[in-house]
Structure 1
Amino acid sequence: MQAFTPKPFSRAKSPSLNALRAFEAAARHQSFSRAADELNVTAGAIAQQVKLLEDWIGCPLFQRLAQGIKLNKEGRLALPMLSKAFDQLSDAVTQLQHLGKPKEISIAALPSIALLWLSPKLPRLSALFSEYVISVTALEHPPNLQRDHFDMAFFYLSKDARSSTTLSLGPDELLPVCSPAFAQKAGPLKTAQDLQSQRLLHDASWRHHWQLWLDFAGFAAVDASRGSVFSIYSLALQSAIDGAGILMGRSSLVAHALETGQLVAPFDVCMPAPDELCLLLPEGSPFMAMQEPLLRCLKA
């Protein structure tokens, strides 16, 4: 009798990692385009990989709608399994990354926060974590700390966007700021009428802040849409310092310029910002145990 020899497992019969990752990101975001942004590919590539996975499974995982996609029953069953698997894979990669390397703290931050708020605090952070090497990466959006290999992150978050490992660094305020020379040349800057003829400076991401502040101050007559718009906050700030106009500032980002006299706040009205500067930590972060000295260092 011929002995039975089992056939070796063929990895070619399994779906590709790209297909699994594309589906997981699309399912989590409920969007091919947002999944594409996360994975740095095109939405068409995401759709193609998802279709390959659906063909391999033998059934669709999404409802294709006129306005986008929606997970069906099979997709909802598949998502938690894959999300857990990718989280575990990310943890393993993070541990491998530290083998044979010096201890490192990798920080992600909004570019304006990294340049204007975090940079002056780095010497204190380095002293607090003297056995670590600190690196900083500027990102426009908060990373997924369970997937991306960052130890902490600094971003502005509203209360409903925070997790149990998000630590607020205190409330932020919105206030108009300009250079002392600009304020002197413009004359009294106290009322809505005083603002009507002045150039407003906007950061593109926070362009709505001028309207929020004007409504809060009761300056309904001022057109919040006019003025210069900058895609980089530090450029808008430098333009205000150079006397180009009045910037709607965030207190956390303009504090140094106000303290050094580069800017003044001509109006008495400060409005609470709709979000706060926050420290984001991954679940299970060892730095949660050090949050008291860490927060003291960051707030100093």
Structure 2
Amino acid sequence: MSVSPPRPKGPPLNALRAFEAAARLGGFAQASEELCVTPGAISQHIKTLEDWTGTPLFQRKAHGVVLTEDGQRLLPHFTQAFDALGNATRALRATMALPTITIAALPSIAQLWLSPRMPALRAAMPEVRFTILAMETPPNLSRELIDISLFMRPTSDDENQHILCEDHIFPVCTSEVAKQIVKPVDLLDHTLIHDESWSDDWDLWLKKYGPDVFNTQTEARYSLYSLALDDARAGAGVLMGHAALVNRDLEKGILVRPLEGFIQTDQPLIMETSPLKNAPKEVSDCAHYLMNDHRIGNE
């Protein structure tokens, strides 16, 4: 019986992944976001790979990095290899007895927009197992085992991205707090509630509707929109509401709009679906359901 010789030992897979991501995205910071590691870790992985190859793969410049000629020659091969690895992994998952759809979303969207829709979605697709991942940045659906993403982000020409609703922002608070607010200047007497993910929301709205109260009021800041929303529900102040995330509270009368006027931001709620040709049919069925959910039209 013949024995195959061992494969030559190559560089660490993480180093190859870091190089491919940094080269494709144009920087260490961008690669660190996609791979969920620090820029320093990306830099160390690149150094490991450069030591292994014996040649620089990036030129370090004051405003970032650019590929060397050797790096440019390597990039297409690694991109093709990782794409093939992603396809193979998805093909393996497709053989599972129960179809699985993984949806990634910004935490606030997962909790306030998607979660209320999940019972109806599960009822419409009972043969599918759903996994929901809360993430701060949009994943790369070509590489990760994620089928659909839901994020407020700038639009693009990507045919796999679909706008579910525009992002309208406006102040919201309880009806008791609203009784004390007749015009924007009345906001000076109240705490303005901020979410760090959208730290400039109040600045955008006040610049148009309340320049006299620009950056002069008491503030409360939260790292999670759901916590900021809870504060507003408790009557602790006025929150800059995102329509898709607060419409249910408005419909139930939990919150009200104390002032007229809204801003349409440049980051609508976008659903992105897997670009891979071997994505399960259930993914397109799920996307179709979310696109045609009758409640979306009101948000």
TM range (shorter): 0.7 to 0.9
Task: Give the direction of change, closer, same or farther, for the CA distance of 1:122–1:291 in structure 2 (3 Å limit).
Answer: closer
Task: Give the direction of change, closer, same or farther, for the CA distance of 1:220–1:45 in structure 2 (3 Å limit).
Answer: closer
Residue identity matched to 1:220: P
Q: 2:265 & 2:32 partners in 1: Cα distance?
A: 31
Superposition pairs of residues 106-121 of structure 1, within 5 angstroms: 106-121=102-117
Q: Quick one: which of 192, 211, 214 aligns to 1:220?
A: 211
Partner of 1:163: 158
TM-score normalised per structure 1: 0.87
Task: Check if 1:19 corresponds to 2:15.
Answer: yes
Residue identity matched to 1:122: M
Task: Check if 1:181 corresponds to 2:176.
Answer: yes
Q: 2:192 & 2:261 partners in 1: Cα distance?
A: 16
Q: 1:42 & 1:260 partners in 2: Cα distance?
A: 42
Partner of 2:259: 267
TM-score normalised per structure 2: 0.88
Larger CA deviation: 254-263 vs 285-294: 285-294
Q: 2:269 & 2:244 partners in 1: Cα distance?
A: 8
Q: Secondary structure at the match of 2:66?
A: strand
1:160-214 CA distances to partner (integer Å, 9 max, x unpaired)? 4x62101111212111000011112x2xx23232222221000011110111111
Q: 2:129 & 2:263 partners in 1: Cα distance?
A: 38
Q: Secondary structure at the match of 1:144?
A: coil
Task: Give the direction of change, closer, same or farther, for the CA distance of 1:140–1:45 in structure 2 (3 Å limit).
Answer: closer
Task: Check if 1:126 corresponds to 2:122.
Answer: yes
1:49-78 CA distances to partner (integer Å, 9 max, x unpaired)? 323322333321100224432222222222
Residue identity matched to 2:199: R
- Number of residue pairs aligned between Structure 1 and Structure 2: 289
- Runs of 5+ consecutive residues of structure 1 not aligned to the other structure: 1-7
Partner of 1:138: 134
Task: Give the direction of change, closer, same or farther, for the CA distance of 1:293–1:40 in structure 2 (3 Å limit).
Answer: closer
Q: Secondary structure at the match of 1:12?
A: coil
Superposition pairs of residues 71-82 of structure 1, within 5 angstroms: 71-82=67-78
Partner of 2:59: 63
Task: Give the direction of change, closer, same or farther, for the CA distance of 1:158–1:34 in structure 2 (3 Å limit).
Answer: closer
Instruction: Name the % identity.
Output: 40
Q: 1:247 & 1:64 partners in 2: Cα distance?
A: 43
Q: Report how far residue 26 of structure 1 moved.
A: 2.1
Residue identity matched to 2:158: S
Partner of 1:299: 296
Q: 1:235 & 1:47 partners in 2: Cα distance?
A: 35
Task: Give the direction of change, closer, same or farther, for the CA distance of 1:91–1:254 in structure 2 (3 Å limit).
Answer: same
Q: Secondary structure at the match of 2:165?
A: coil
Task: Give the direction of change, closer, same or farther, for the CA distance of 1:82–1:12 in structure 2 (3 Å limit).
Answer: same
Task: Give the direction of change, closer, same or farther, for the CA distance of 1:291–1:106 in structure 2 (3 Å limit).
Answer: closer
| Alignment check: 8 A CA contact 1:110 1:139 kept | yes
Task: Give the direction of change, closer, same or farther, for the CA distance of 1:229–1:44 in structure 2 (3 Å limit).
Answer: closer
Q: Report how far residue 291 of structure 1 moved.
A: 5.0
Q: 1:144 & 1:275 partners in 2: Cα distance?
A: 18
- Runs of 5+ consecutive residues of structure 2 not aligned to the other structure: none
